[in-house]
Amino acid sequence: MRERRTVLDYKPEKVEKGLLLELFNYASYAPNHHMKQPWKIKLYEDDARSPFGEKVVNSYIRLGLLKTKNEEKLNKARLAYDRFFTSVPHHALFYMEKEDDGGYLDDENFAAVCAFIQNFQLAAWEKGIGTMWTAKKTLLDEVFIRDIGLTPEKHKLIAVVQIGYPNKIPRMKERAPIEESIEWIKERDI
């Protein structure tokens, strides 16, 4: 848990499909209410990476997350994103089916998928595989959701996770003393 790092820079080799399946299988032991196992994954690999990256960048532009002064700068930014998307062997998009349109059941399922993702990240790290959990407003962009073949009324996107063998492992980011986050409550009169 302490040693896992968010990896930005990956080697080009793919992770073997059987190993990815093993890791997703470990991840599925995540806690989930009523055993709904709400996790769904779309894996973008090989030639699917570039068009997937293009859909992401189109969403950034639509949402004003990528502001460019002119066409030339925009093309340069598109190229840089394409290089990034094609430099990472696997992009996993995690999503779930909505049950009560943003209500409590959806919160529960969302939490379970997040637990699944963290399990996956830790199991991957154990095998020398790096990941990067990304979440931007794009996950709420209805045009993007349709663009990847899902339905905004039915599906909630949760994260895009990059996966591959690390080329460079970033430095550890120190955490705040944990005591700052905890309040011990022991008296009867609360």
Ligand X SMILES: Cc1cc2nc3c(=O)[nH]c(=O)nc-3n(C[C@H](O)[C@H](O)[C@H](O)COP(=O)(O)O)c2cc1C
Size of the site for ligand X (CB under 6 A): 8
- Residue number, 69 or 175, with CB nearest to ligand X: 175
Residue 134 as a binder of ligand X (CB under 6 A): the answer is yes
Among 26, 81, 133, 165, binds ligand X (CB under 6 A): 133
Stretch that binds ligand X, among 11-19, 38-46, 98-106, 129-137 (CB under 6 A): 129-137
Closest C-alpha among 23, 3, 2 to residue 163 = 23
Distance (Å, whole) CA 156 – CA 85:
22
Q: Which residues contact 152 (CB under 8 A, 6 or more apart)?
A: 142, 145, 146
Give the pairing of strands 90-97 and 40-45: antiparallel
Residue 5 as a binder of ligand X (CB under 6 A): the answer is yes
Distance (Å, whole) CA 105 – CA 96:
11
Task: Please give the backbone phi and psi of residue 155, each rounded to the nearest 5 degrees, phi first.
Answer: -120, 145
Residues in region 145-174 near ligand X by CB under 6 A = 173
- Residue number, 26 or 133, with CB nearest to ligand X: 133
CB of 6 to ligand X, least distance (A): 4
Task: Please give the backbone phi and psi of residue 14, each rounded to the nearest 5 degrees, phi first.
Answer: -75, 155
Task: Please give the backbone phi and psi of residue 116, each rounded to the nearest 5 degrees, phi first.
Answer: -60, -45
- Residue number, 84 or 133, with CB nearest to ligand X: 133
Site map 81..120 versus ligand X, x via CB under 6 A: ----------------------------------------
- Residue number, 19 or 135, with CB nearest to ligand X: 135
Give, in order, the Cα–Cα distances in Å from 149 to each of 6, 17, 175, 183.
28, 23, 39, 45
Residue 136 as a binder of ligand X (CB under 6 A): the answer is yes
Residue 6 as a binder of ligand X (CB under 6 A): the answer is yes
Where does this chain bind ligand X (CB under 6 A)? Answer: 5-6, 132-136, 173
